Structure 1
Amino acid sequence: MYVLLVCFLITSLIFVVLGKSCVTYLDKSNHQNYNLVDAFFIGLCFTGAFLNIWSIFLPTNIFSLLVLSAGTLLLIYRDKVYYKKTLKQFLSFPKKEKILSILLLATVLIVLLYAVVTPRLYDSYLYHINAIQWNELYRAVPGLANFHNRFGLNSSLFVLSAGFSFTAIYNQYLFVINSLCFLVFFMWLLRQAFIHKGAVGVFSLVFMYFFIQQYTLDISSPGSDLLPNILVGFVLLSMLFERSSITNKFLLYIFIPLFCITLKLSTLPIVLITILSLYFKNNNHVFSSLKQLVLYGQFLILPWLIRNVILSGYILFPMVELDLFSFGWKVPAEKVIEIKKLIYSWAKIPYKDSNEVLKMSLNEWVPFWWKNLIEKNQRFFTLAIFAPITYGIYGFLNRKEKNYSIFLVFIIAYTSLALWFLMAPDIRFSFSVILILALSPILLLEKLINKFSNLFNPLLYIAAIYVLYSIGNEGYVLFREDYSTNRITEFAYLPKDVSEVKERRVVKYKNVIFTTKLGKQIELFAPSQSHSQCYDKFPCSWYIENNFKLRGETLQDGFYR
């Protein structure tokens, strides 16, 4: 736990300092409006974009971390007066926030319980960890998706995880990005509950409770679903909780939505927030807004698009519709269509032939899909579907109010929901949007709840303690699966090495030897049982076909078919 906490502090420091520097230079007139959490997430996006650029030319490893650390230290030294003041303010909680400080400390300990367990997601052992290894050992490899089609699913999460794996220091992988971002989001929600109280307080605690239930197994895993849902949730909730922030924190609504696309393409609708934020900032001037959108996009998205082309030959993999290049390493169109079908069909009806599922009409696949949902998610989805009626009633009863923030969040969230449902309706892909829509009636009842604030506000402390206890208890159950509390040495310093998981699994491997033109032999691995997990071998694919070849003398040269 100690090492993980140190890694949290190092990573947080880099994100906050880089984020604060972005704010200072790009939004000088409003820089005082951004808090530490805003700076953290802006810095995360900046760092992710920087590492995407780095990974095109160099492996993302301890050297990229050292460069980021050196840059952070220089920025701290230059602005040492500001950071001394900030640290002093951060450590000195007002007396009225002493209870909150105790709850926030409990939050750190609870999230550490989740963070030290070995990854629980199946796909992490299938390809997530391997993808991180490729980023850490090599720069972007041409045609890597030919070796394993999942390596073409180029989430920036894998590059970030490679940059902050701390492997060279501790000789094992530490997957800190998801757990750290979850911790920051968790603490932010808890603090919002006690700052705003009333309807926002109730909403924050309920959202926190159900959000962690959905992503319990993701916190310690380097999966690509949790982080985009955290960022989408943070952006939409920031608009709801601070309704003037779209104009006085415009940088928040540029960096996060644009970077979200590089984490999960299905988050595309929240870019509407970026467009609106730039439009308001530029006094409704369309051309200036588009110009700035392109400039920010060149830094936040373009490097990711270049990585896509290098890894698969396509700008957006797996979309053959945007087939603009004819590089020798390009994945054949039929293979791209195959994985696209698998993604779309699996989200609707898993374990069923993709062609059969995609031929089904809406009336045919929805009953199967609905039956596969757990009861709780059925309720959330139903509430989200009826959100327009809820908001329509609210708008009619409050016709004199001009509450644009709620309206914008509703439109963007519902657009996201519609796109998600029609394309790949797996709950984990877009849970934050579903949950926000489902719980929106709480915020719409703000006036009513505030009338009874004397009753609700004291109950917030009890509710917060219950939420923390419930979440902590679930984390402890997971923790006990990996550790014995009688042997504190098992977890007090370093969490278990992920490689220990292979001792609980018996996976046999077969190897394939490739001989290069100069006679060099390169060994590749695949599980004996096809389509199985293979994280503990490198380079490894869940199966190896006979129709791909090495492009050169090393793995860095890539693959082609």
Structure 2
Amino acid sequence: MLEILLLWIYLLFINAAAGIGVLRVLGRLAGRKGSSVGLSSAVLAGTVSITAFAEWFSIFSNVGMVCHLILLALAFVSVFAFRDSFLELLRKGRKIAFSWEGVLYLIFVVMTAYFASRGLQHTDTGIYHAQAIRWYEEYGLVKGLGNLQQHFAYNSAYLAYAAIFSMKWLLGQSLHVTTGFFQAFLCVWALYGLKNALRHKNHTADACRIAILIYALVNAEGTMSPATDYGTMWLVLFVVTRWAALCCEEKPEDLTDRTALLSVAAVCVATYKLSAGLLLLLALYPAALLIRKREIKKILVYIGAGVLVLVPFLWRNVLISGWLLYPFPAIDLFSVDWKIPVQHVQHDSDQIKVWGKCVFDVAQADMPLKQWLPLWWDAKDRYEQMLIYAVALAVPLEALAAFKGLREIAGRRKPEQRGTPGQKIAWEQILLHVSVFACICGWFFLAPFIRYGLAFLLIFPLMALGLWIRPEKMGPVRIAGGFLCAAVFFSLSDYWDYYVLSDLVWIKHHLTDPSYLIQQDYDRVETGEIAVGNLTVYYPLNSDNISYHAFPATAYEMMAERTTMRGDDISDGFMPK
């Protein structure tokens, strides 16, 4: 636990330093003026840039000591070159830290560290997350790695971010602290923003901040796991809340540039998990404005930044699986000897769909909606059903708010008020709501497993509530909106109530765990051996949890049986038999 707290301080420094450097350099390239960089913007930019850096590095070498020391050197260069921005952040942070407000934040961080230091690993962490991080640490990647276990071909960029901060090369133990770091930082950031909630005229960003706190409540028991679902959902919450704060509260003069930078962060979200890729719809807003103003230089800068984030992800996809996007067999562009056979790709794709729909039979992957929907609904616990109710009720609530806004713009208000800034269509806010709803639709029709889209499922109804929290004259629309708000609130309350009790019980059960100094290690499991070419590969004997320590390993013996080596050395990679 103490180890985690110290490493989080280090992560905060590295992320902030890297983020300041990236934002200042991009600002100069785009011709923007000013040196002020907020902490949240710096940490978000740092997260995106460090993720991309680790991915690029992994293509050519392992993500170990050399990679980390280069990152550290770049962070110090950034601090020295842009020390005015860094010192400004330091002064603001010190003022908050040494106050009663800072004590509240510290308590929250320590509680998060408690959860991050012990407990159970996420199921998928045992199946492939931990093993994928080990591959980053040892080799970066090898060609055809997805043949050994197809889960490696998912290639979530979050695992690159987790690997560069595992510190295995320094401590001898591979730590898994990045999920907890996201949770601790974002919760403190949300609390800091909520302290002024009563002064805000628009509460969309406040609603997103509450979603962050609820997600922390839901995710508390899994804070120790470097799970890709968790990392993706935290980054989604970060990007959406930052967008809402910019558009609904801060409204800076350089809004177009800042939303363009957030669009680059949305690209990073897609590399964390393709199922969240529809968040890229946000990029339509800055793209339209920049094109209309013909700011070619800025367009090239921001597109270039997005390309630098996306290319290593796609490159790794091809090297690991032979497919540009896995598991999407429709996009078949490459013919290489390490390519995962198309029938295995299709089976994997279908398996994700049927598990998400609670059908559990790959042969039923194309089952019509009217057949799988009842099965899916019956498989949900009551508190999960209440969450879905909240999302469903939020749709008419959003529609009612849109109707009210259009009615005002159409001229139902006094003639002398027409054309004022308050009457303009806030496209940046509309696009935020549309993008989140589009992500929910994509989640529902592709693989509606709750944890795959939980951030969107929390944000959407809360944003709908946020639209109605403001003084307004009573009338039929207001009354209807009030009833819907009450229904959404009570539907959500059942969801967070379940996790409050669950987390309290979890805290009590783990008080005696010996993890107050050092973080609990990955699970150790009993393994068997199988020969893949001249290489010994390990697999779990009693489950599909292969965890971290046996290496190289696969969670499924049958995947190793259909795989062979491409050469005499493990670095040559794998190919199908």
- State the TM-score bracket (shorter-chain normalisation): 0.7 to 0.9
Which moved further from structure 2: 422-431 or 98-107? 98-107
Contact 2:166 2:176 in 1 (8 A): yes
Aligned match for 2:362, one of 354, 361, 365? 354
- Name the amino acid aligned to 2:574: F
The 1:297/1:150 distance shift into structure 2, 3 A limit, reads same
> Structure 2: how far apart are the matches of 1:35 and 1:296?
20
Name the amino acid aligned to 2:351: L
Conserved 8 A contact 1:193-1:204: no
Q: Which residue of 1 aligns with 2:429?
A: 406
2:231 to 224, 227, 232: 227
Change (3 A) 1:161 1:334: same
Q: Deviations over 1:255-285 (max 9, x none)?
A: 3101111100011111121232233245454
Change in 2 beyond 3 A, CA 1:102/1:560: same
Partner residue of 1:484 out of 493, 508, 512: 512
Report how far residue 10 of structure 1 moved.
1.5
Q: 2:564 aligns with which of 545, 549, 559?
A: 549
Describe the SS at the equivalent of 1:250.
helix
Q: Give the conservation status (yes or no) of the 8 Å contact 1:107–1:187.
A: yes
State the percentage of identical aligned residues: 22
> Does structure 2 retain, via aligned residues, the 8 Å contact 1:524–1:538?
yes
Q: Distance between the aligned counterparts of 1:106 and 1:74, measured in 2?
A: 33
Are 2:38 and 2:89, in contact at CA under 8 Å, matched by a contact in 1?
Answer: no
Tell me the alpha carbon deviations over residues 515-548 of structure 1, each in whole angstroms, 9 at most, x when there is no partner.
54xxxxx211112346444433111112223332
Q: 1:330 to 1:450 in 2, by over 3 A?
A: farther
- How far does the alpha carbon of each residue in 1:280-302 deviate from its partner, in whole angstroms, 9 at most, with x for none? 24545497787556422320001
Aligned to 1:397: 404
Paired positions, count: 527
SS of the residue 2:43 aligns to: helix
Tell whether 2:80 aligns with 1:80. no
> 1:273 and 2:291 equivalent?
no
- Aligned residues of 1:483 and 1:491 also touching (Cα < 8 A): no
Structure 1, residues 501-521: CA drift from partner, whole Å, max 9, x if none? Answer: 43xxxx5422123454xxxxx
Change (3 A) 1:473 1:102: farther
Query: Could you tell me whether the CA contact under 8 Å between 1:15 and 1:44 is conserved in 2?
Result: yes
Kindly indicate whether the alpha-carbon contact (under 8 Å) linking 2:533 and 2:564 is maintained by their aligned counterparts in 1: no
Cα distance change of structure 1 residues 209 and 258 upon mapping to structure 2, 3 Å threshold: closer
Contact kept? 1:250, 1:281, Cα under 8 Å? no
Distance 1:449 1:13 in 2: 44
Question: How far apart in 2 are the matches of 1:160 and 1:478?
Answer: 28
Q: Which residue of 1 aligns with 2:65?
A: 62
Secondary structure of 2:326's match? coil
User: Is the CA contact 1:58–1:139 (under 8 Å) kept in the aligned structure 2?
Assistant: yes
Please state how far the C-alpha of 1:88 moved relative to its aligned partner: 2.2
Q: Is the 8 A contact 1:420 1:430 kept in 2?
A: yes
Q: Deviations over 1:40-80 (max 9, x none)?
A: 01111001111111000000112211110111112223333
Contact 1:253 1:277 in 2 (8 A): no
Structure 2 residue aligned with 1:462: none
Structure 1: gaps spanning 5 or more residues: 452-467, 517-521
Contact 1:30 1:248 in 2 (8 A): no
In structure 1, the partner of 2:549 is 536
Query: Match for 1:389: what amino acid?
Result: P
Q: TM-score, normalization: structure 1? A: 0.87
State the shift of 1:403 in Å. 3.4
The 5 A counterparts of 1:334-349 are 334-349=343-358
Report the secondary structure of 1:93's partner residue: helix
**2:4 is the alignment partner of 1:4:** yes
* Aligned-partner SS, 1:560: strand
The answer to whether the 8 A contact 1:513-1:524 is kept is yes
CA distance in 2, matches of 1:365, 1:395: 32
Structure 2 distance, partners of 1:494, 1:169, is 14
Aligned to 1:194: 195
- Provide Cα deviations, 1:77-130, integer angstroms capped at 9, x if missing partner: 3333543343122111399xx443222112111111111114431111111100
- Whether the 8 Å CA contact 1:526–1:534 is kept in 2: the answer is no
Distance 1:431 1:438 in 2: 12
Match of 2:539 among 526, 529, 533: 526
Amino acid at match of 2:527: Y
Distance 1:121 1:389, change over 3 A: same
2:527 to 509, 527, 531: 509
Deviation at 1:144, TM superposition (A): 0.5
Find the counterpart in structure 1 of residue 116 from structure 2. Answer: 115
Give the AA of the match of 2:467: L
**Paired position in structure 2 for 1:130:** 131
Correspondence for 1:380: 387
Distance 1:443 1:405, change over 3 A: farther
Q: CA deviation at 1:211?
A: 1.3
Change (3 A) 1:79 1:32: closer
Deviates more, 1:17-26 or 1:83-92: 83-92
- C-alpha change, 1:256 and 1:218, in structure 2 (3 Å) is farther
- TM-score, normalised to structure 2's length? 0.84
| Range 269-278 or range 56-65, more displaced | 269-278
Task: Give 3-state SS (helix, strand or coil) of 1:249's partner.
Answer: helix
Deviation readout 1:182-207 (Å, 9 max, x if unpaired): 11111111111113336468635642
Amino acid at match of 1:324: L
How is 1:427-446 mapped onto 2 (pairs within 5 angstroms)? 427-446=450-469
Write the distance in 2 (CA, Å) between the matches of 1:63 and 1:296.
24
CA RMSD of aligned residues (A): 2.9
Partner residue, 1:22: 22
Aligned-residue offset at 1:326? 0.7
1:302 alignment partner AA: V
The answer as to whether partners of 2:158 and 2:228 remain within 8 angstroms in 1 is yes
Contact 2:546–2:555 (Cα < 8 Å) also in 1: yes
Question: What residue identity is the alignment partner of 1:134?
Answer: W
